[in-house]
Structure 1
Amino acid sequence: MSITTTTHLNFRGEARAALDFYHSVFGGDIAVVTYKDTGNVQNPDEADWVTWGQVIADNGFHVMAYDVPSPMPWDRGENAVFVSVRGDGTEEITALWEKLAVGSTVVQPLEASPWAPLYGMLKDRFGIVWVLDVAAPYNG
Structure 2
Amino acid sequence: MALTTTTHLNFRGDARQALEFYQSVFGGHLTVVAYGDFGMPKELPDADKVVFGQVSAENGFSIAAYDAPSQSPAAPAPTATTRENGMTLTGERVFVAVGGDTAEEISALWDKLSADAEIVEKFGPSAFSPGFGMLTDQFGVTWVLQVNAAHAG
- Smaller-chain TM-score range? over 0.9
* Correspondence 1:15 to 2:15: yes
Of 113, 116, 134, 2:129 maps to 116
Distance 2:26 2:45 in 1: 30
Q: Which residue identity is paired with 2:17?
A: A
Query: Is the Cα–Cα contact under 8 Å of residues 35 and 50 in structure 1 kept in the other structure?
Result: yes
> Alignment partner of 2:131: what SS?
strand
Question: Where do residues 1-140 of structure 1 align in structure 2 (5 Å cutoff)?
Answer: 1-41=1-41, 44-75=44-75, 77-78=78-79, 79-137=92-150
Distance 1:43 1:4 in 2: 37
Q: Which residue identity is paired with 1:101?
A: S
Matching residue of 2:83: none
Q: Which residue identity is paired with 2:13?
A: G
Distance 1:124 1:133 in 2: 16
- RMSD of aligned alpha carbons: 1.7
> What's the TM-score, normalizing by structure 1?
0.93
> Alignment partner of 1:45: what SS?
coil
Gaps of 5+ in 2: 80-91
> What's the TM-score, normalizing by structure 2?
0.85
Gaps of 5+ in 1: none
- How many residues align? The count is 138
Distance 2:25 2:130 in 1: 21
Query: Is the Cα–Cα contact under 8 Å of residues 42 and 48 in structure 2 kept in the other structure?
Result: no
Distance 1:71 1:32 in 2: 21
Q: Which residue identity is paired with 2:129?
A: A
The alignment-based identity, stated in percent, is: 51
Tell which deviates more after alignment, 34-43 or 103-112: 34-43
Tell which deviates more after alignment, 119-128 or 75-84: 75-84
- RCO comparison, higher one (Cα < 8 Å, 6+): 1
> Alignment partner of 2:48: what SS?
coil
